Amino acid sequence: MTKTALVFPGQGSQFVGMGRGFAGEYLERANRILGFDLKKICLEGPEEELKKTEIQQPAIFTVSAAAYNLLKSQGRNCEVVAGHSLGEYSALYAAGAISFEDGVKIV
């Protein structure tokens, strides 16, 4: 039997365009929580704005949550989740320990 583990990335893994094609709904939810247009910054930049800690952390968490849910919707289950640095919050979300909303607020 094959078992799957997911390791979520930490700060510094962001890039303009990440999440394009699958994270729109999650980025819009994050917009409402944060009070600014994270979706636009994430998908269009500018890169200098996305590099700011207060932007990149919720961006990485949000896109990681969206990627996890995409895999889950495709029937891909994972037995183990882990995260590097900031990615620990994405792992907590994937494990069901925190909600998406709480994760966005925490980071």
Q: What is the pLDDT of residues 41-68, one digit of tens each?
A: 999 999 999 999 999 999 999 999 999 9
Q: What's the predicted TM-score (pTM) here? A: 0.96
- Domain of residue 47, residue span: 5-101
Q: Which of 90, 80, 70 has its CA nearest to residue 22? A: 70
DSSP state of 96: T
Q: Is residue 41 part of a domain?
A: yes
Phi, psi at residue 42, to the nearest 5°? -65, -45
Pairing relationship of beta strands 5-8 and 80-83 according to DSSP bridges: parallel
Look at residue 1 and tell me whether its pLDDT is greater than 80: no
Check which CATH number belongs to the domain holding 94 and give it: 3.40.366.10
Q: Is residue 71 part of a domain?
A: yes
Could you give the dihedral angle defined by the CA atoms of residues 64, 95, 85 and 40, in that order, rounded to the nearest 10 degrees?
Answer: 20
Domain count, the chain: 1
Q: Is residue 26 part of a domain?
A: yes
